[in-house]
Amino acid sequence: MSSHSSLNIEARDYSKEVINRISLGWSTESEVVNSGRITRLSFITDAPDFIEEMIPFSMFDEWGELENQEKNDLLSAGWIIYQSNTIFIETDLVTPACIEIIRSRQDNLVGPEMARSMAEAMTDEGYHTLLAILTCDAVRVNRKLSLFPKDFHLVKTMNNYISSLDSEWKRRVARIATACCTENHITDYLDLLAQASSIQPMFLTAVNAHAKDEWNHGSQFSVLARDIYWSLSGDGKKVFKDTVELVANNFFRADLEAWLAVFDQLDRKSLDKLRKKIKTNAIDLQKDVEFTNNNRGLMKLYENLDWDWTKYEQR
Ligand SMILES: [Fe+2]
Ligand SMILES: [Fe+2]
């Protein structure tokens, strides 16, 4: 059996102090404990659902030429895309890795602290998924927009990459590395909207609730990343690092397939010109649009792994 076939977690120190500290606060500080707070907020029809700065094609003249109602509907679509992407990240990229770590407790490969705090993190992720579902449906009902995008750039890129790896131990390392990087970088993704005070109050509250949970439990994924990375062979380390870099390079790319699906679902003549422009420029848009250079969550992961951050910045 290859030395990689199990990640021999047993031998490592899980930085119990960090994990215990996160776990100690969970029962009082996690947002799921106060879950009624967001659903009690009412939907404000006059408030925009999203911000123009995060529409990947808002620099096009064709966007500027749209009627206000069309722009507002596309802002609503923007929220649905942003939150549907969150649903897919939570369910496709993060939760499977949580399950993997939790189950490895049955083989005594992780200690009780890590198993418990992973189960707490997974509860948080379930709640974030619930918030995304509730707020997307609030848009569909209140705006009468029947939009259901399901192709998202990061999730597709990572699933393709993981399934292209030629052995199960590599796929396992890549799944865990993907979750560790995603969990640290997602705070940077949420920060994009967390300051957007003009948007739908219910949505702003949901984004801030999600961001708070991620800051609270992000460190445990850094600890997990460090413990696993330093236990791997040279080949394993390479898979881990390649995976983290792939996540980092694709995290903030525009979800153009989701946008084109939304345009098809809206099926409006008035949007044809803009749709055509997006389709013609799709490759460049996909390559060029990165919504932020905010990397504080990612930097935290690099610090924990003792990786050289300046090399990442010079990539
Ligand atoms: Fe989350
Ligand atoms: Fe999380």
SS3 call for 35: coil
Joined together, the tokens standing for residue 125 give 């992720």
Residues forming a β-bridge with 253: 290
Q: What's CA 274's distance to the chain center, in Å? A: 27
- Which pLDDT value is given to residue 310? 76
SS3 call for 8: coil
Q: What is the DSSP string of 208-231?
A: HHHHHHHHHHHHHHHHHHHHHHTT
CA of 267 to the centre of ligand 2 (A): 35
| Encoded amino acid at 31, one letter | E
**Helical axes 16-29 vs 201-229, angle rounded to 10°:** 160
What contacts 214, CB < 8 A, 6 or more positions away? 183, 186, 187, 190, 297
CA of 93 to the centre of ligand 1 (A): 11
CA of 64 to the centre of ligand 1 (A): 34
CA of 150 to the centre of ligand 2 (A): 21
- Which is the CATH superfamily of the domain at 57-313? Ribonucleotide Reductase, subunit A (1.10.620.20)
Identify which of 28, 48, 53, 40 has the alpha carbon closest to the alpha carbon of residue 290: 53
CA of 221 to the centre of ligand 2 (A): 9
CA of 274 to the centre of ligand 2 (A): 35
CA of 110 to the centre of ligand 1 (A): 22
CA of 179 to the centre of ligand 2 (A): 9
CA of 238 to the centre of ligand 2 (A): 24
**Share of the chain residues as helix, strand and coil, in percent rounded to the nearest 5:** 75, 0, 25
What contacts 96, CB < 8 A, 6 or more positions away? 175, 179
What contacts 12, CB < 8 A, 6 or more positions away? 227, 228, 230, 231
Residues that place a CB less than 5 A from ion ligand 2: 183, 214
Q: Which residue has the tokens 């899980």?
A: 14
Ranges of each domain in the chain: 57-313
Ligand closest in space to the Cα of 32 = 1
| Residue 50 CB neighbour total at 10 angstroms | 24
Q: DSSP letter at 94? A: I
Task: Yes or no: say if 35 and 127 are a contact pair by the CB < 8 Å rule.
Answer: yes
Ligand closest in space to the Cα of 88 = 1
Residues forming a β-bridge with 290: 253
Task: Yes or no: say if 121 and 65 are a contact pair by the CB < 8 Å rule.
Answer: no
Task: Yes or no: say if 222 and 184 are a contact pair by the CB < 8 Å rule.
Answer: yes
Tens digits of pLDDT across the chain (315 residues): 334 434 444 445 557 888 888 888 898 899 998 787 888 889 999 999 999 989 999 999 999 999 999 999 999 999 999 999 999 999 999 999 999 999 989 988 888 888 999 999 999 999 999 999 999 999 999 999 999 999 999 999 999 999 999 999 999 999 999 999 999 888 887 887 888 889 999 999 999 999 999 988 888 898 889 888 988 999 999 999 999 999 988 988 899 999 999 999 999 999 999 999 999 998 888 776 665 667 777 888 888 888 887 766 666
